[in-house]
Amino acid sequence: MQTIHERLRGLREDHDLSQEDIALLLGASQTMYSRYERGATDIPTRHLVVLCDFFNVSSDYLLGIHLDSRRKRGTPKYNLKRK
């Protein structure tokens, strides 16, 4: 399973863009964006939203979240009730 970092790099490379191109889009430095791709720094939500919009992907895809289609929407996956 790919990590968010691998997905970010893959999307960028699939579109023949440099880290500097994406950093400019985010208003960040190339060094900071490089840290996102390496997993050295967590991606802020505001940057996640811009990346999803730019690449036309869902945040679920980028984050690697796969929802079980058999579950009803809005039903928690885990039970938090105490015994």
pLDDT digit string (tens) for 37-57? 999 999 999 999 999 999 999
Given this model, what pLDDT does residue 66 score? 76
DSSP 24: H
Dist. CA 36–CA 8, nearest whole Å = 8
- Say what the pTM is: 0.79
Dist. CA 65–CA 77, nearest whole Å = 12
Structure tokens given for 66: 């796969």
Torsion angle, CA of 58/64/65/66, rounded to 10 degrees?
Answer: 100
Dist. CA 11–CA 53, nearest whole Å = 12
